[in-house]
């Protein structure tokens, strides 16, 4: 559950974009999130959508999942997990922007206190995801789209 703590921070393998590449959004949806709440040491789990718009470098798509795992496998606070992921992408890829949205259920909320299994949504937006309304709207629509696992 906490393997991310002992793991060395990894370096993303990146590739240069083609010369005639026009920046557009790269999105990975339905990434499983399995983590442990840092306050109560109880699980929280859900799904993440991770996106970025490359500037000069791309990374392998599966690496976006790997980044989520790396930061999730340790006691976490969902808000911080979300911004850890965009921070890492910005640091390693210097993209035009990045966005992460996580929806998760927290067992600490479902099993104690209000005993209500709500879904918590957190998002972190950087660069054009924050400053450009069109980009933000495209990302938000994709991140909230349901049932895309049909194939």
Pattern 84-123, Zn ion, x by CB under 5 A: ------------------------x---------------
When the beta carbons of 37 and 59 are compared against Zn ion, the nearer one is 37
Q: What is the distance between the alpha carbons of residues 92 and 12, in angstroms, rounded to a whole number? A: 7
Q: Which of residues 39-58 bind Zn ion (CB under 5 A)?
A: 39-40
- State the minimum distance, in angstroms, from the CB of residue 99 to Zn ion: 25
Closest CA to 35 of 69, 65, 66, 72: 72
When the beta carbons of 38 and 137 are compared against Zn ion, the nearer one is 38
Which helix (H) or strand (E) segment holds residue 44: the answer is strand 43-53
When the beta carbons of 84 and 138 are compared against Zn ion, the nearer one is 84
When the beta carbons of 25 and 45 are compared against Zn ion, the nearer one is 45
- Neighbouring C-beta atoms of residue 18, cutoff 10 Å: 8
Question: In the 3-class helix/strand/coil scheme, how is 45-74 assigned residue by residue?
Answer: EEEEEEEEECCCEEECHHHHHHHHHHHHCC
Binding site residues, Zn ion, CB under 5 A: 37, 39-40, 108
């Amino acid at each position: 559950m906490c393997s991310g703590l002992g793991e060395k921070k990894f370096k993303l393998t990146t590739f240069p974009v083609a010369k005639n590449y026009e920046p557009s959004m790269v999105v990975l949806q339905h990434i499983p999130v399995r983590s442990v709440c840092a306050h109560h040491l109880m699980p929280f789990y859900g799904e993440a959508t991770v996106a970025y718009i490359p500037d000069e470098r791309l990374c392998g798509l599966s690496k976006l999942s790997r980044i989520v795992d790396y930061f999730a496998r340790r006691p976490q606070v969902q808000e911080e997990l979300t911004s850890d992921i965009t921070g890492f992408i910005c640091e390693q890829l210097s993209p035009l922007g990045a966005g992460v949205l996580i929806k998760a259920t927290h067992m600490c909320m479902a099993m104690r206190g209000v005993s209500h299994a709500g879904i918590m949504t957190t998002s972190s937006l950087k660069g054009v995801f924050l400053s450009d309304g069109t980009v933000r709207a495209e990302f938000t629509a994709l991140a909230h789209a349901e049932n895309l696992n049909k194939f």
